[in-house]
Structure 1
Amino acid sequence: MSSIYGKLFSVSTWGESHGEAVGAVIDGCPAGLPLSEEDIQQAMDRRRPGQNTLVTPRKEADKVHILSGVFEGKTTGTPICLAVWNENQHSKDYTEMMNWYRPGHADLTYDLKYGFRDYRGGGRASARETLARVAAGAVASKILKLACGTEILSWVESVGTVTSNVDASKVTLEAVEASPVRCPDPEASEKMAKAVAEAKFAKDSIGAVLALDIRKPPVAVGEPVFDKAQAVLGGALLSISAVKGFEIGEGFHAAELHGSENNDVIRFEDGKYRTLTNHAGGILGGITNGETIHCRIAFKPTATIAQEQETAGRDHQNGTLAARGRHDPCVALRAPVIVESMAAIALVNLFLEQRARKLF
């Protein structure tokens, strides 16, 4: 199983939803970076379960522990091991899934691939694996912030058919975190919360779209052919559980435009190149131009629902399953920090590669 991401800033995640712990090993973090458990915990707290009635009630502190790679408050350049102990597993809730495959879940495909699976909470297919990405992403984000002033921010743009209307350039972390659904539009936030609550009451789930802004990204990173910046970002974000779609800039809407409408006018002002608009989403020819990188990420509805559904089992029999367990009715509500983390990990790899390629 491939559990390692990145070339120069390499992240290996480990652990299962109902195992002893979940964590990550970072190899390639530059030495001398100021780093503490508190730096990472701020991001972990944004992802942890049990925050309100609209997310899974699983109670986990998700306290991160730095086991190696940091001495006297700074990274040593050696592998950094980050661990979070699981404290609130209810494995008995998954006994029915020992045989039955959940529709929309990876149960079936894991069995087809490996001939064996950890049915307790989905094992590695559980979204709990993403806490390791958040821990590693906090380190990557700090590197980008110190080196380039980069700010990475994600928020919920829509839930089901409820869509927000905000000026992306004015969205703040404080506004996002003030909303129970992490939408900075108060009016839309209230409607989204209602939609999620209705799905939960109906023993169902609902999908959502997240927006992602990478402000002040490193300039001129990304490759012109295969490792284009948008391809690297897209691959990283599509690797997140439940993500089904990725757009950058105008995305699919660009297919409806003429070149005269989609091209961004270039200006040289105050000693640097800028564009008057940003239809390209901050990337041209696979290389960042310094403008804000704007993306949209689609999350499907949570697969595990309590409604009775037709399915098949490991014994080749057909039947029905009403899944038990504690699950998010809308998995995207806790996903903004996960999206930010994977974007940071992808971008810091491109940044370090460019530093190695061009000295001046």
Structure 2
Amino acid sequence: MGNRYISLKDLANELNVSISTVSRALKDHPDISVEMRQKVKKLAQERNYSPNPLAMGLLKQTTGMIGVIVPDVVTHFYASIIAGIESLARKKGYFVVIASSGESYEKEVEAVENLVKARVDGLIVCLSRETQTYHHFEKIIEQNIPLVFFDRVCLEDRVSCVTADNIDASKRIVHHFKNQGYKRIAFISGPRHLNISKERLAGYMEGLNEAGYPFSPELVEQCNLSLESAKSAMSRLLQLPNPPDAVFGINDTVAFGAMKGIKERKLRIPEDIGLVGFTDEFHATVVEPPLTSITHPTFKIGQEAAKQFFKRMKHQDTHHVSILKTNLIERASSVRNS
């Protein structure tokens, strides 16, 4: 039989009985004789038979699989969220199938199609940085397939979403910079269409207002979330006639790119310019100087996303937006007043 899976049909053919007899024997059905039950179980063990979850799922209209799509599977941020999803999924008897969009809209669309073809029971998704149209997700909604977004979200009026409190976090960064004596605070944002860009910019502007600092449009730069793009954005800020003395990036990768740009100018962190990141990746603790950053409750985000997913499985019409609190972890990159 080669390396293919042994099926109920294979066992039934070998024993010259019906598939239903084999199925019921494996479940110890009282209608099947003890002798036949023992014979079926013995053969199943010899042939290394194990139930096919997809075939069982077709009978039950469920496969016990959740498709999870993330921009990458390398960073601790997404790995920890996936671990949170898995922790709750396992308790419910589900397992996750992970796909990476690689920050590509086309790959994201492809991942959605492939996971639906694989008959996952639903999807938990963080959008790619390129995603600006949502037809592929609207089709999922129309098909009544459970869908939950986290971190980078869309269609909040129709789909359950789990995000960090981006506005509050950005305000806290601005107040931290003020407390450390910084006067001219810049923000390196991501693509304008992303909710994290809009919300963190709104928090930055509210924070400036609360701190009594004027908003200067030239101190807001955009990047595509890559290291090199962030470094270029930092270089543009440093070339201003009146450059910033503090900057925060929309995520830690952006902050690392900014750090590279600052060091190439031979400027000192935090003496000449303060720097803060967002997401608190592992590398934040090993760069020099260690990076002050907003830390997300990543594992909890995953658990909450899974929780919303199972709620949606039970009640098709429900959707809920969960906003989780963050913490600012102060390190040497922004602390001048000890």
TM-based fold match above 0.5: no
Which one has the bigger strand percentage? 1
The structure in which a higher percent of residues are helix is: 2
Q: Give TM-score, length-normalised by structure 2.
A: 0.28
Q: Which structure would you say has the larger Rg? A: 2
Q: Which has the higher contact order (CA 8 A, sep 6+)?
A: 1
TM (norm. structure 1) is 0.27
